[in-house]
Amino acid sequence: MRGGAAAALLLLALSGRTARPQAVAEGLPPLAVEPSNPLPPLPEQSARNASYAIAARLDPEQHTIEGELTLTWRNETGVPQSAFPFHLYWNAFRNNLSTSARGGGRRAALRETAGPLAERAYGYTHVQLVHFLDDAGEVDVTATRRFLQPDDANADDRTLMEVSSPRPVAPGQTARFRLRWTSRIPYGDSGRAGWVHDMNFIVQWFPKISGTQGGRFVAHQFHPQSEFFSDFGSYDVRLTLPKGHVVGATGKQVARVDNPDGTETLSFHQDDVHDFAWTAGRRFLERRGRFEDAGYPPVDIRLLLQPEHEHLADRYIEAARIALRSYGAWSAPYPYEQLTVVDPSWSSASGGMEYPTLITGGAGRFSPPVLHSPENVTIHEAGHQFWYLLVANNEFEEAWLDEGFNRYHDRKASHLALGPRGWARRYFGLAGRSSSGWPVVAPGVRMTMVDDALPQLRRSGQSDVMARPTWQYLDTDSWNLNSYNKPALTLHTLEGLVGETTMTRILRTYARRFRFQHPTSRDFIAVVNEVTGSDWQWFFDETWYGSGLADYEVTAREEEVRKPRGFVDGPEGAPVSVPSPSPTPKDAAKGPYDAEVTVRRLGEVRLPVEVQVEWSDGRVRRETWDGRDRWARFRYREPVKLARVVVDPDRKLALDVNPANNSWTAESGVARRAALKLSARFLLWLQNLLELHTVLG
């Protein structure tokens, strides 16, 4: 592109003078269902077997927190328990020897340097006291503390602490733990939590008991790519900090008290959540909105915004509404009274994260509407409320049940409400969750979620079986693919095979049946089988439990049927003699034509596929093939020539890594085919180059 044209295009994008469709409800399935085929009922509340009362004091100058908590824990595992693991996530930042630091990244590199810059990156959680309480009394069990490293035996990792009780807690019995701790808040330029400038983003900050599933504690260390998993409960949290801060937190604020020492204490409460997160900053601007749609519970939207992003307030709030509307229709409506959206500070790594009833967005210096930023990240993170929060799968071991489901839905929601986005990538900025920089925009090139993800699938799709714990993937690219894009592509493919209506019912059934639960992949597959009335285990064996690629190719050839001179076709196509003089080649009628269409399965993944055959007179025929063998062949004798053949004409198989070889046309001669092949390879190379540039920053 010439410099003048590029400059004009950039100015147009930055000015926002592009068509920006309004958020609409059209295209969403209705919330009501037919009475004759009802969905599972929604539970009124969670098990509430891990509830916390927390009191904490923030010192923003020293970057420390002092806290006390009482955990009320009920044994829902079905077996007696006497050893209790607690997550101390901030110990991942206590040195450069923790498992998280050894995993690499910017923080690990920073800690290898010396001086104040490196020093401020450190953080920790030090538990000073642990008491165990049950009907028999209260016992100090602080001396039983020990650190566990079940994933890698790294003795320097202290992100998982275990204490022992003096007597077992029987199934169904309730016990309490009282803990006192101090923490140092790490600098927040990586690792999700921390302080940047005057903003404190406080997440995974208190000693938290491990979640339970299948009769066991799910107790893992903190890894660079792993996220979080815990049980549901009620949270009552009192936060004391200097006056003048704007505070956002999980749940709703229920009280505020001014203290004589110039601090204030804010109280928050929320039932039926599995974590508590909060933020405090002096520069936040507060904006409010409300989501109200027929059939949905109303939701107050609270936006905490950086002053330099004040012009994005309406877009942030509308993006939250889009998520609440669309995800509510595809799964089950959001049940909480409030959603808090946080616009993180410049250079903070807290952008693009999800916590119960609180999410973070992110936007650059320039956020023209054509980039759908901050809309896309807000829709994605708000969407996590429906999977990570309400259908609380085990994110240590099966992250795709949240990240993959969310990626499948967020692109659908964005496309429906905002329209297709242009070809947009950021340059000269950070490649993090809250990256910023100058955008390069080429409108008119439609890049769907499927098209975006296929290069990564081609590149890393054979590195790992998708169904494995997050920290065991080969590398970051494989983790990203198998947690986000491959499961999303699989769900798109499943939707193509079962139909959109059936897919919506699958997801609604799954979301309602497992609200406030901890479902597994097997649970989801069972729902698919139930709703469709068929066994789809084979499909997930090919995709989730395999590392092969899907790739179908179609080719065709045809030739005119040669007839002896003086003969014409009889009733069954056999030549019949006629008394008239033999026609000359010039005026002889052409045809019929024998055509041969061959579909090849080049990849290992076996999926059923359709083949559309088109002739030059406009006739169209659909063939089906189960895809089990390596190839299938279809033969035709028709009076006219083939015009076009397309394998998977409706793009049902989103997992097909090379859509470029899915069609054949009669006009594509040798030279044309070569040119198309070269141009396709060039565009693929260019797309991969841009994606690599984005990843590397």
120-156 burial, b for 16+ CB within 10 Å, e for fewer? Answer: bbbbbbebeebbbbbeeeeeebeebeebbbebeebee
159 and 135 fall within a common domain: yes
d(CA 105, CA 103): 7
In a domain, 609, yes or no: yes
Residues 6+ away with beta carbon under 8 Å from 73: 49, 50, 84, 169, 174, 175, 176, 177, 209
Q: Of 229, 264, 290, which residue constitutes the final position of a domain? A: 229
pLDDT 10s digits, 203-215: 999 999 999 999 9
Domain final position from 198, 229, 260: 229
User: Do residues 154 and 53 both lie within one domain?
Assistant: yes
CATH number, domain with residue 559: 2.60.40
The reply to whether 140 and 196 lie within a common domain is yes
Does residue 242 lie within any of the structural domains? no
Nearest to 460, CA basis, from 688, 137, 186, 256: 688
Q: Looking at the predicted structure, is the pLDDT value of residue 322 above 90?
A: yes
Q: State how far the Cα of 213 lies from the Cα of 231, in Å rounded to an integer.
A: 9
The verdict on residue 300 lying in a domain is: no
pLDDT tens digits along 465-486? 999 999 999 999 999 999 999 9
What value does the mean pLDDT take over residues 48-64? 98
- If asked whether residues 513 and 556 sit together in one domain, one would say no
475 inside domain: yes
At 157-186, the pLDDT tens digits run 999 999 999 999 999 999 999 999 999 999
Is residue 341 packed enough to be buried (19+ CB in 10 Å), middle (13-18) or exposed (0-12)?
buried
What is the pLDDT at residue 27?
A: 78
Same domain, 75 and 184: yes
Which of 203, 271, 248, 235 minimizes the C-alpha distance to 340? 248
523, amino acid identity: D
* DSSP helix/strand/coil, 341: strand
What is the 3-state secondary structure of 603-619?
CCCCCCEEEEEEECCCC
559 shares a domain with 474: no
Q: How many domains does the chain have?
A: 3
485 DSSP 8-state letter: I
Mean of pLDDT over the chain: 87
Contact between 117 and 198 (Cβ < 8 Å): no
Is 188:201 a contact under the CB 8 Å cutoff? yes
d(CA 418, CA 27): 12
Count of CA atoms in the C-beta half-sphere (13 A) of 568? 9
Residue 9 has pLDDT above 80, yes or no: no
Show the tokens assigned to 107. Answer: 């923080």
What band does 669 get if pLDDT is binned at 50, 70 and 90?
very low
Tell me: do 535 and 559 sit in the same domain: no
Please say if the pLDDT value at position 44 is more than 90. Answer: yes
The fraction of the chain above a pLDDT of 90, given in percent, is 74
- Per DSSP, the three-state class of 247 is strand
Helix (H, G, I), strand (E, B) or coil at 396: coil
- Are 245 and 280 in contact by the 8 Å Cβ rule? The answer is yes
Dump pLDDT digits (tens) for 137-152.
999 999 999 999 999 9
Please compute the mean of the pLDDT values over residues 493-512 and round it to a whole number: 97
Contacts of 315 (CB under 8 A, 6+ apart): 367, 369, 374, 375
Whether 556 and 506 map to the same domain: the answer is: no
Q: Give the highest mean pLDDT range of 295-304, 452-461, 574-583.
A: 295-304
Residues 373-408: tens digit of each pLDDT:
999 999 999 999 999 999 999 999 999 999 999 999
Find out whether 166 and 132 touch, Cβ atoms under 8 Å: yes
What proportion of the chain, given as a percentage, has pLDDT over 70? 81
Statement to judge: residues 493 and 624 lie in one domain: no
Residue 387 covered by a domain: no
Residue 117 lies in a domain: yes
DSSP letter at 474? S
pLDDT tens for 66-88 read 999 999 999 999 999 999 999 99
- Can you name the residues that pair with 556 across neighbouring β-strands? 597
| Buried b or exposed e, range 612-629, using 16+ CB within 10 angstroms | bbbbeeeeeeeeebebee
- The mean per-residue pLDDT over the stretch 255-283 comes to 98
Please determine, for residue 421, whether its predicted confidence score (pLDDT) is greater than 70.
no
The pLDDT assigned to 584 comes to: 45
Looking at residue 143, what DSSP letter applies?
A: G
Strands 423-427 and 358-360: unpaired
The whole-number average pLDDT for the span 25-30 is: 77
Give the Cα separation of 313 and 636 in Å (integer): 61
- Cβ atoms of 352 and 433 closer than 8 Å: yes
461 & 570 share domain: no
User: For strand 609-615 and strand 567-569, is the pairing parallel, antiparallel, or unpaired?
Assistant: unpaired
- Quote the DSSP letter at residue 67: E
What pLDDT sits at residue 4? 41
Looking at residue 576, its pLDDT comes to 47
Which one, of 273, 227, 229, 284, lies nearest residue 250 by Cα?
Answer: 273
Query: Structural domain of residue 560, as residue ranges?
Result: 552-579+587-666
User: Which tops the pLDDT comparison, 588 or 553?
Assistant: 553
Higher pLDDT, 158 or 192: 158
Find which of 30-34, 36-40, 644-648 is predicted with most confidence, using mean pLDDT.
644-648
Residue 65 and residue 137 in one domain: yes
Residue 52 is assigned to a structural domain of this protein: yes
C-alpha 73: how far from chain center:
31
**Window from 261-270, 306-315, 408-417, 662-671 with minimum mean pLDDT:** 662-671
What local confidence, expressed as pLDDT, does residue 682 receive? 72
For residues 503 and 561, membership in a common domain is answered with no
Give the residue-averaged pLDDT of 518-540: 98
Q: Above 80 in pLDDT, residue 441?
A: no
Q: Look at residue 109 and tell me whether its pLDDT is greater than 60.
A: no
| pLDDT at residue 190 is higher than 50 | yes
**Domain contains 436:** yes
